Amino acid sequence: MKTSKTFAAGALVLAALSLAGCAAAPAAPAPAEAAASSIRDFGPMDPACIAAGEPGTAQALTSAVIPGAHGTDALPGQARTAAVLGAGADLYVQTEPGQFAATGFQLPAAMPWAAEVAVPAVVTSTHSCGLVEVLVPSQSDDASVRSASAWVPSEQVAPVSEWEVPRIISVDISDASLSVTEGDAELLAIDGLVTGGDVATPTGLGYVVSEYEDAEQQPWTGGESITLTSLHADTSFSGNSGEIGVHWMDPAADDGSGSNGCVRVGDLDQVRALESVVSPGDIVIITE
């Protein structure tokens, strides 16, 4: 059952998004200190595995770049959602097998423009040295990585017994279609998508970071909800970070250049149905 929504307040100012990427988040306020947490299922993080760096409180938002963040080899069916304990979970990158370095970033427990809505960690179920691999909203410094992952101490997320299976949003670029499934049940099917433009829609495994509205900065969305994902296009313009979203766009106005890279839905009823069934933490898979 769907339990949460994220909407940015109209007064928040979003970045200009007229070219690459169609969804950028508001600037974050100063992060809060993370609350202490207890040791969880995989045991405490092994200090011997930490090669360098110190934990920090910078939030890993979609606009951030995390050096060393990597793509994941995990399959969508392995992904689970786990509540982040406290205000954020410390992010680490793997420097070599069994060795990790702190990034100075935290995976936030909620987006700063909608602090009342929890955003779970999306855990791939891969673990090492008391850390678990998670998908992150931020970009990697490796331009080939379209959706990045990193590692957090398992003691900073909910125990395995509380992990949940997310819904899966599948986008097929060649078929111009989208489906939402929960287990074996198909919740929604949408045809007639528009993707690409001057900037190609990236492929890969990501997740829903947030849902928000932005009629002022992105009038082509008609004030309808934008589903922001953790995937990024390979080109950024107008000060954004190439963030990829799923949103409504009037088919008569969509010549492929107004919302480069994003996934555009031309039917209002369908985009509203999508908004009603997905939540932060749901998996997004885009294939060609």
Q: Torsions phi, psi of 190, nearest 5? A: -130, 130
Q: Output the average pLDDT for the chain.
A: 84
Over residues 230-257, the pLDDT tens digits come to 999 887 654 567 889 999 988 776 555 4
Over residues 107-138, the pLDDT tens digits come to 999 988 778 889 999 999 899 999 999 999 99
Specify the residue for token string 């993370």. 34
* Local confidence band at 61 (pLDDT 50, 70, 90 cut-offs): very high
Compute the average pLDDT of residues 160-164: 93
CA dihedral 193, 196, 197, 199 (to 10 degrees): 160
Residue 40: the pLDDT is 52
Over residues 13-53, the pLDDT tens digits come to 233 333 335 665 544 444 443 333 334 567 789 999 998 89
* Local confidence band at 259 (pLDDT 50, 70, 90 cut-offs): low
Rg of the chain over CA atoms, in angstroms?
A: 18
